[in-house]
Each structure stands twice: as C-alpha cells, then as structure tokens.
Chains A and B, each alone.
Chain A
Amino acid sequence: MNLKRLLAGTALALGLATAATAQQDSVKAGFIFVGPIGDGGWTYEHNQGRLALEEHFGDKVETVYQESVPEGADAERAMTQMALGGADIIFTTSFGYMDPTINVAAKFPDVKFEHATGFKRADNVSTYSARFYEGRAVQGTIAGMMTKTNKIGYIGSYPIPEVIRGINSAYIHAKKVNPDVEFSVIWAYTWFDPAKEADAAKALIEQGADVILQHTDSTAPQAAAQEAGDVITFGQASDMAEYAPKPRVSSIIDNWGPYYIERVQAVMDGTWESKDTWAGIGEGMVKIGDITDAVPEDVKAKAEEIRDSIASGDYHPFTGPLNKQDGSAWLAEGEVADDGTLAGMNFYVEGLSGEIPQ
C-alpha cells in the first residue's frame, strides 16, 4: 500500500530527526523559492543568502532548494518532500507559503521552519521579514522630487500588507516633498511575469507616469522604462545595477545572508527558538543601493538624510499626523505606528486614490 509506505517513511524520518541530539555538527538547510533563482530580484537575493550560508559554514552545511514553487497546495508537497529528505531547517521565502508552512510544520515537529514575510508562528515556525517600507520612504522622496508630470506609477504584486505598506510609505514621503504628486497603482497579481510586468510599466508610462516603482520581482519594468526614455525606476529586492545610472536611480536590496547564517548557527548550537524578526536599514537587512548621478545633488542629499535618520532610529516612516484614506484619524501628531498595525496593514493613507482589491 502506498499510504502505508508513506506513513512508514514519515515515521522513519521523524525518528531520525528525533534521534539527532541537540548539538549538531552538520545541518541540512532547505529553501523554497517562489521564482527562479535567476529572476534578478527577490528570489535571486534569497539564493545569494543561501550561497552565503554555504560559504560561511563550508562542509558543515548542506543546502537544497526548489525554484518556482507555486503558492498553494503544491508548496506543501515541496516542503513535505524536503522535510522527508532530511532537512533540519526549511526557509519558505514567500508570503503565500504561510498556511502551507504551518500545515507542514505541524507534521514535522522536529524540523525548524522559517517563513518569510508572514505573521503566523508555531513552536517550530519562526517568521522573518525586512522593513522594506523604510527603503520605500527613501524612494518616495526621490520620486516626489524628480517627477515632472507629478504622476508616479506603482506596480503592485498582490494586495497584501507588505505591499500596501510600501505604497503608503512611498506616497507619504513623495507627498511630503511634492504636494501635487499622484499615484497610480496597478495590481499585477503575480510576483514574477516579465511580460505582464513590462505591460504594466508601459501602461503607466503611457498614462503619463515618469517614475515607476515596482513590487514585483523581474527587471522587465526597468527595461520598459529604459525604452520609454525619460522615466526613472528603482531596483526592487535586488540592486538591478545593470539598469544604472538610468532608469534605475537607486534600489532596495534585501540582505538575507547574515540572518540565514545566524539561524543555521542556532540550529547547530541547539538554541533555535521560534521568534519573529523584522529588521530594517539599521540592522542591515535592508540596504539602499547606490544613488546614481542621474539624481540631482540636493535630491540625493535629502534621500540620504532620510536613509540615515531611519537607520539611526531617529525617524520612523509612519509618524503622525496621518489619516486613513477615508479621512478618519490614524496617527496623532508625533505618534509612531505600532508593528502590529503595520504587520496587518490593509488600508491606504489619506490622499491615495483607488481601492485596495479585497
């Protein structure tokens, strides 16, 4: 019977995992990726983190990964397979893997799971994310000061808190330096589809946007902007430096390596615990890529000032007074948004047009 064999296999794997003592000499780390490692963006940087692991630990760590795993039922299969294959710790690197991760983790209590950008935890499930919205504040500042048409295009992936935070943060800071600025948001409903992302960028440019911000993973919008001419963009998740100095004038770089090394070390030491990590520019998990010469000096200085004040903790991108889109009060003068609200953010701030699809 297939079912019996599967159960026996599961039991065996569990037995092996339990047999391992708290102290481990070598660790097998698994990675579930949402796109291909060559996407030049999000998955590329997670893979860089994986390579940093291998370099740091050498023979003591073995890594396995699976690319382009769809979010949903298929993700559970991929994770189960990896857990059965003897992985000690599995990093699931997309928001949509949240429930699958929790489900699979319940079946493998001795395997550690690390879910990126989610908010559900368990005894053997940690969550980790970066405060990308801090980088968006820098981008919003540059975008607001550099736009000539006062129209900024934003390619969103899915309407989830992580993306909405980015839109809000970019808008707040663009508005601060340019009261006339308007945002157009296109939801692409994909993390990675170069043709669709290119079309979205073109549609925004055709409607007059001269700054494109993207929260999708490929470099296609950069190419579209380059072809259109006088349009600027920002690298997303990865530096995308091949499009510098223009259209790409700066970028948000996700730097996962140090975190992955820390967590695998914790598994080796037997000190791994379920926790929530949310680090930003200050901790080095979010880096701001080189601001190119296509940006005027005063804009660059202003952007760097924001970056440094966020890094030092003097300034929080969501500082009141801020209202929600419907005009109701959110943050009072000088009040700072709490992490709980930010983690579940499902509203636009005042001034943004359009609705968040539900």
Chain B
Amino acid sequence: MDMSSINWVLLLASLMVAATPILLAGIGELVVERSGVLNLGVEGMMITGAISGFAVATGTGSVTLGFIAAAVAGAALSMLFGVLTQFLLSNQVATGLALTLFGLGLSALLGQGYVGIKGLSVPDIHIPLISDIPILGPILFRHDAMVYISILIVAGVWAMLKYTRAGLILRAVGENHDAAHALGYKVIRIRLMAIAFGGACAGLGGAYLSLVRVPQWTEGMTAGAGWIALALVVFASWRPWRVLIGAYLFGGLTVLQLNLQAAGMKIPVEYLAMSPYLITIIVLVIMSSGRGRAALDAPAALGRSFHASA
C-alpha cells in the first residue's frame, strides 16, 4: 500500500463537502426530534428538495434561488406529515415511511424533464487571509457558501436550544407535552414549526447533493443519505455539535474508504464501507435498553402523539 499517494489535505477538504448533505438533514431532524416528533421521511424530503432546487436553479440560473426553493419544497412536504400526525394523530413511524416513499415517487415525476441536464457550477469562496494559511486554509476555508451555512445552522440550533426561551419551550414540549400544555404552550403549533424547520433543512441537504456535490439530477440520487441522517441524530444523542462530529465522521469514512482503495490498500474495503452503519446499530442497541435510552437523553415524548384531552 502506498499511503503517500493520498493527499490528506484534499481528503479532509472533500470530507467536509461529502458530509454537508447529511449534516444539514441531521440537524433539521434533531430539532424535530427534540420537539418529540419522529419524522422518518427525511429521505423523501431530501430528494424532493434535490429536484426542486435543481429545477429552479437551472430554470433561473441562480443557485441561491435553487436552495431557497429546495428549503420551501422540503418544508411544504413536511407539512403533509405535520397535518397527518399532529391534527389527524396518525402513527408517526408509518406516516414518516410513507412520506419517504411519496417523496421518492414525486421527485421522479417532477424530475422527468431534468434528467441528463448539466448543473450550474457553484464557486468556492476563498475567505480572504485565512484561506492562505498553509494546510488549514485549503482544508477549512476554501469551500462553497453552503458548507459554512450548514455550520452556522448547527451553531444557531445549539445556541437556540441552550440559551433561549424558545429553545427551552421546544425541549419542554419534547420531554413532556402534557406538562408543556398545562403551562399554556401550544404543543401542536410548536411541533409544526419544528417539523417545517426539519423539512427545510432536509430540502437544503438534498439540494446540496444535486447542486454542488454531484451536481446533476438523477432519480434516487440521495441513495439512503436520509437514513444516515436519521441514524446520525441517534448517534449524536440529540446534541447539535455531536451531529457535526458524526456527520464529518461518516462523511470522512466514505471519502477515506475510496481514497484507501485508490491507493491500493490491501484490507477489505467492505469493513470501512459498513462502519458507519455498524456504529449506528451499536448506538441503537444501547438506545433500546431502558437505561441506555435515559443515559443517551432521548427526548421522553419522542414519537408520542399529543392530544389535548378535555
């Protein structure tokens, strides 16, 4: 094996790009789950965002408009889930799965005319001065705007949950919706807002795939990224910065795996390829035991429907 042929600077830089879609989708789902709602439709919202963003970006020639459209489309689709689960009290797991299937089908339909069209190119932003720092510059400060926006969103969510009243209310709703209701908070309205935020983030993550990382539209292009994002939230035990670490870890493993192969590494690459999923399974096993669940700080009302009685 020839490790010297791996360019570690470029590898770390492409790691950040590879991780951005799951980071965006993951941080959105984190907010949803902290409000006590389990939305398994991340994959469906991502791919709907991917095609909406791609269609609008190629139609208008503006990548920014593309991302906005993707966020709107993701949020709109998530509202379908919101209405069904919050007002009609449908089962969250089943509805989320249906949302994924629906999103995959809808995106294939919307995308009929966009197959084979070339995407726009998104310029990298070289942040003045600090992008010239040796090694760190190329790794951290020469990316497209969405990489930075995704990190800002994580920081924003963290600050909101930790320091603001709105964050406290959101967590209260997620831990004990009856108590929050008794205090006079509008549980359903708060949850709908969280679901819409999650949908918008998932849409952005999908659009990042179709507009920056690949960049083109193909059916089924998210290829399970939504499920990884869901696993990521569990892996991160519902903490924003851990989502960031987890996303870079998962993204890093994907990129590292390919680089090791290209360098002629002799160990079977299947082990590296499966490692993100193995970690997720281990976390889920710990989760499923009662004490583990508490230790991991899962929102207590996660997945439970709320109905204001009498």
**Provided the pairs A38-B112, A189-B273, A196-B223 are in contact, do residues A207 and B255 lie with their beta carbons within 8 angstroms?**
no
Q: Quick check: A207 and B6 within 8 Å, CB to CB?
A: yes
Classify chain A's interface size. 35 or more
Which stretch in A84-92, A218-226, A340-348 binds the other chain?
A218-226
Residue of A nearest to B7 (CB): A206
Q: Say whether A193 contacts B223, CB under 8 Å.
A: yes
Q: Which of B118, B219, B273 has the most CB of A within 10 A?
A: B219
Q: A198 contacts the other chain (Cβ, under 8 Å)?
A: yes
Shortest distance in angstroms between A265's beta carbon and chain B's nearest beta carbon? 31
Query: B216, A36: Cβ atoms under 8 Å?
Result: no
Contact assessment for B254 and A223 in the assembled complex, using a CB-CB cutoff below 8 Å: no
Shortest Cβ gap from A220 to chain B (Å): 5
Q: Would B7 and A207 count as touching, CB distance under 8 A?
A: yes
Contact with B along A212-249 (1 / 0, CB 8 A): 00000011100100110000000000000011000000
A223 & B259 in contact (Cβ 8 Å cutoff): no
Name B214's contact: one of A153, A195, A200, A203 (CB within 8 Å): A195
Q: Is the CB of A184 within 8 A of B268?
A: no
Contact of B14 among A67, A199, A242 (CB under 8 A): A199
In angstroms, Cα B215 to Cα A226, docked, is: 10
Q: Let me know if B220 is at the binding interface, CB within 8 A.
A: yes
* Bound-complex Cα distance A185 to B263 (A): 9
With beta carbons under 8 angstroms apart, the residue of B214, B218, B225, B269 that contacts A187 is B269
Chain B CB within 8 A of A357 CB:
yes
In the complex, the answer to whether A195 meets B221 with C-beta atoms within 8 Å is: yes
- A40 at interface (Cβ–Cβ under 8 A)? yes
Chain B residues within an 8 Å CB radius of A189:
270, 273
Query: Which A residues lie within 8 Å of B215 (CB)?
Result: 223, 227
Which listed residue, B111, B115, B258, B269, touches A199 by the CB 8 Å rule?
A: B258
Measured between beta carbons, the chain B residues less than 8 angstroms from A153 are: 262
How many Å from the CB of A207 to the closest CB on chain B? 5
**Chain A residue at minimal CB-CB distance from B219:** A36
Is the C-beta of A322 less than 8 angstroms from some C-beta in chain B?
no
Q: Say whether B5 contacts A198, CB under 8 Å.
A: no
Contacts of A204 in B (CB 8 A): 262
B108 interface hit (Cβ, 8 Å): yes
Q: A354 an interface residue at 8 Å Cβ cutoff? A: yes
Chain A residues near B116: list those with CB within 8 A: 38, 40, 219, 242
- Which chain B residue shows the least CB distance to A151? B5
Digitize A238-274: 1 where CB-to-B-CB distance is under 8 Å, 0 elsewhere. Answer: 0000110000000000000000000000000000000
- Contact A219 B216, beta carbon cutoff 8 Å: yes
Greatest chain A CB density within 10 A among B6, B262, B269 is at: B262
In A160-187, the 8 Å CB interface with B consists of 184-187
Report the count of interface residues on B (CB-CB < 8 A).
42
Residue A208 interfacial (CB < 8 Å): yes
Contact partners of B273 in chain A: CB under 8 A? 189
What residues of A have a CB within 8 angstroms of the CB of B268 in the complex?
357
Q: Whole-angstrom distance between the alpha carbons of A204 and B258 in the complex?
A: 8
* A189, chain B: closest CB distance, angstroms: 7
| Closest-CB distance, A262 to chain B (whole angstroms) | 28
A206 touches B11 (CB 8 A): yes
B266 at the interface (CB under 8 A from A): yes
A194 within 8 A of partner (CB):
yes
Q: A153-B262, A199-B254, A208-B5 are in contact. Are A39 and B219 (CB under 8 A)?
A: yes
Query: CB distance B108 to A36 under 8 Å?
Result: yes
What's the Cα separation between A199 and B16 when bound, in Å? 12
Minimum Cβ distance to chain A for residue B48 (Å): 16
Contact pick for A206, options B108, B259, B264, CB 8 Å: B259
Known: A39-B219, A195-B221, A198-B214. 18 other contacts (CB 8 A): A38-B219, A40-B116, A185-B262, A187-B269, A192-B220, A194-B223, A195-B213, A199-B18, A202-B14, A203-B11, A206-B14, A207-B5, A209-B262, A219-B116, A220-B214, A223-B118, A223-B214, A357-B269
Q: Show 10 residue pairs from A and B whose CB-CB distance is below 8 angstroms, ordered by the A residue.
A: A184-B261, A184-B263, A190-B223, A195-B223, A195-B225, A196-B254, A200-B258, A206-B259, A223-B118, A242-B118
A interface residue numbers (CB < 8 A to B): 35-36, 38-40, 67-68, 153, 184-187, 189-190, 192-196, 198-200, 202-204, 206-209, 218-220, 223, 226-227, 242-243, 353-355, 357
**Which 8 residue pairs spanning A and B have beta carbons closest together?**
A36-B219, A38-B115, A203-B258, A206-B10, A184-B262, A193-B223, A186-B261, A354-B264
